[in-house]
């Protein structure tokens, strides 16, 4: 089975092009003020225009988004999917999908097997699931973020699990560990942010290419 990759937290035309040319299946843009990767919806619209309709899925990454943000995203960037990385309930995910008219990727913070079980409650409302490490408070400058921290969880918690929706493995992936992560977890989709950066929010084109090459070999 071919593993597909999402490059998350893009903010420049150069890195969008690198991810697209390298074969990323998903391009992620973060809309969360405290993130070093935060972009305005209008900026994201300009960034996705060159790749729109060219077979790549664009993803708006949000944290407990309000209706105003959903409306603004749909009036500007028009993402193919909205990722929700906060404490959204199943009914809120249903509302976001109905309001936006696009599918929702629901992210879960994982440190135990019970955290993975939460996905079942979203079977009928989310289009895809994403399992990310539970952020550890007090470690490094980005530790208070709900994602994009480089923290990992035990990949084997996903091994042999069957889900009603396609699922991403995320959290601390990089070009050197993604092959082992896919082997241990069996995940069909992988997601990376800080592991392809040279500093917080600074995507490195060479690392993006190396990550996508490593996913192809996985
Ligand atoms: O990347 C961010 O800044 C971010 C902010 C708020 C919510 C989610 C965010 N990113 C997501 O977290 C995963 C894992 O990141 P990392 O690879 O461990 O750095 C990332 O792929 C995004 O989906």
Question: Is it the case that residue 140 has pLDDT exceeding 90?
Answer: no
CATH no. for residue 149?
3.20.20.70
Query: Is the ipTM beyond the 0.95 threshold?
Result: yes
Cα of 172 vs centre of ligand 1, distance in Å, is 9
Average of per-residue pLDDT across 45-65? 97
Which of 115, 132, 204, 213 is catalytic? The answer is 132
81 pocket-lining for ligand 1 (C-beta < 6 Å): no
Please indicate whether residue 192, judged by its CB atom, sits closer than 6 Å to ligand 1. Answer: yes
Residue that has been written with the tokens 């989310």 in this structure: 126
Q: 136 falls in which pLDDT band (50, 70, 90)?
A: confident
User: Could you tell me if the CB of 56 is within 6 A of ligand 1?
Assistant: no
Q: Which band of pLDDT confidence, cut at 50, 70 and 90, is reported for residue 54?
A: very high
End-to-end CA distance of the chain: 9
* Residues 6 or more apart whose Cβ sits within 8 Å of residue 66: none
If you write DSSP's letter for every residue of 121-134 in order, what string do you get? Answer: GGTTT-SEEEEEEP
pTM comes to 0.95
35 lines ligand 1 (CB under 6 A): yes
**What's residue 145's pLDDT?**
87
Domain assignment of residue 186, given as a range: 4-217
47 backbone dihedrals φ, ψ, rounded to 5°: -70, -35
Q: Is the pLDDT of residue 156 over 50?
A: yes
Domain count, the chain: 1
Is 8 catalytic? The answer is: yes
- Is residue 72 scored above 90 in pLDDT? yes
| Among 118, 211, 126, CA closest to 170 | 211
E strand or H helix that includes residue 168:
strand 167-170
């Amino acid at each position: 089975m071919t593993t597909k990759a999402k490059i998350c937290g893009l903010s420049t035309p150069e890195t969008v092009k690198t991810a697209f040319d390298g074969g990323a299946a998903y391009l992620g843009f973060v809309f969360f003020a405290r993130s070093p990767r935060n972009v305005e919806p209008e900026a994201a619209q300009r960034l996705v225009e060159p790749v729109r309709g060219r077979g790549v899925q664009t993803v708006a990454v949000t944290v407990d988004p309000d209706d105003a943000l959903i409306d603004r995203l749909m009036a500007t960037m028009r993402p193919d999917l909205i990722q929700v990385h906060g404490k959204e309930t199943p009914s809120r995910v249903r509302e976001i999908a109905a309001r936006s008219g696009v599918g929702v990727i629901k992210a879960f913070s994982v440190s135990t097997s019970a955290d993975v079980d939460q996905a079942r409650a979203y079977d009928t409302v989310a289009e895809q699931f994403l399992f990310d490490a539970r952020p550890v408070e007090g470690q490094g400058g980005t530790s208070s973020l709900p994602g994009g921290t480089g923290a990992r969880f035990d990949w084997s918690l996903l091994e042999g699990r069957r889900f009603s929706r396609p699922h991403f493995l995320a959290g601390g992936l990089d070009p050197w560990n993604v092959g082992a992560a896919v082997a241990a977890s069996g995940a069909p989709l992988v997601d990376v942010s800080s592991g392809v950066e040279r500093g917080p929010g600074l995507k490195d084109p060479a690392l993006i290419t190396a990550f996508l090459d490593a996913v192809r070999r996985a």
